[in-house]
Structure 1
Amino acid sequence: MSDTKLELLTPANSQLIFIDHQPQMAFGVQSIDRQVLKNNVVALAKAAKTFEVPTTITTVETESFSGFTYPELLAVYPDHPLLERTSLTPSPA
């Protein structure tokens, strides 16, 4: 038996990452209504902001393919920097 104690998640030991919440990226979503998905994302963002959880927002190919990050998400974090990627595929190691 291990004496390892599980630690509760706190803003100090966690981070929330919103990955590519953009119109074109939601096209493949079939398991939930896209508006409900967007509403859930915004609710999660508001909760994370309230509890001061560090948050990262990523985008991919904003100008040429995927479109801009959902305005409703950006409204929660109006001054937050976006991590813009230029590719959907990882670079070779």
Structure 2
Amino acid sequence: MPGPQSRFITAADTALLLIDYQPQMLMGIRSDDPASVLNNAQIIAKAAALFGMPTVLTTITADSFAGPFVPEIAEEVFTDKIVIDRSSINAWLDENFVKAVEATGRKRLVIAGLWTGACATFNALEAIWRGYEAYFVADACGDTTPQVHERSVDRMIQGGAVPLTAQHFVYELQQDWARSETYQGVVDLLRPHSIFGNVQVPYGKWALRAHELDGAVA
């Protein structure tokens, strides 16, 4: 049977799980800049929406402790999504979460969550044990220390989960810049979130245009 790295993820066979992007969790991140982690979470959320990938949003103790799912994703990207709140660190212990994942009809899951050592690791490993292929977006996860984050990443990889980065996730969905139906959408979503989008692409277009004008003059 082919392993999880034998083919690329696609919006047709993969679902995205975004776990516990909440104020309390973001404020506790010390393994990376919290703003960078949130930025990367926005990238994957927008890419999933652009390509029509089923996405599940979940929070932990939103009303009593951790606060609502961040509006940069819940309100700006997935305005019609119901956020599943739960008490369990391992989201798979929550019946509503399990039903939501099963409703996607996908057996390949891309997971990102706060914090890495709990809400990402527990859920990636549990997904594998339940028969899913699990991927995780390492730079969209964060934890209370670099050590906790790094060891959690190690554990997920050793358990069979495949690491991605946010931009890797986007490029793997796009695959070919000639895919005109999503090309401009990819450029637009990366523009405010990455060097590629806000510097390299505009510069490349400027340079190409300048070259064409030089050729016309010559």
Query: Could you state the TM-score of these two structures normalised by the residue count of structure 1?
Result: 0.82
**Shift in alpha-carbon separation, 1:51–1:28, aligned structure 2, 3 A:** same
Superposition deviation, residue 89 in structure 1: 5.5
Q: Which residue of 1 aligns with 2:70?
A: 70
Q: Paired residue for 1:37? A: 37
Equivalent pairs, count: 89
When the two chains are superposed, the root-mean-square deviation of aligned CA atoms in Å is 2.1
Aligned residue in 1 for 2:60: 60
What's the CA shift for 1:88?
2.8
Partner SS state of residue 57, structure 1 = strand
Structure 1 unaligned residues grouped into runs of 5+: none
Distance 1:89 1:41 in 2: 20
Structure number with the higher helix fraction is 2
Specify whether residues 4 and 73 from structure 1 end up closer, same or farther in structure 2 by C-alpha distance, changes over 3 A only: closer
**Which structure has the larger Rg over C-alpha atoms?**
2
Change (3 A) 1:11 1:64: same
Gaps of 5+ in 2: 94-218
Hey, what's the Cα distance between the residues in 1 that align with 2:56 and 2:46?
13
Counterpart of 2:159?
Answer: none
Amino acid at match of 1:53: M
Give, in angstroms, the shift of residue 10 of structure 1: 1.5
Equivalent position amino acid for 2:81 in 1? H
**CA shift at 1:4, angstroms?**
4.3
> SS at the partner of 2:85?
strand
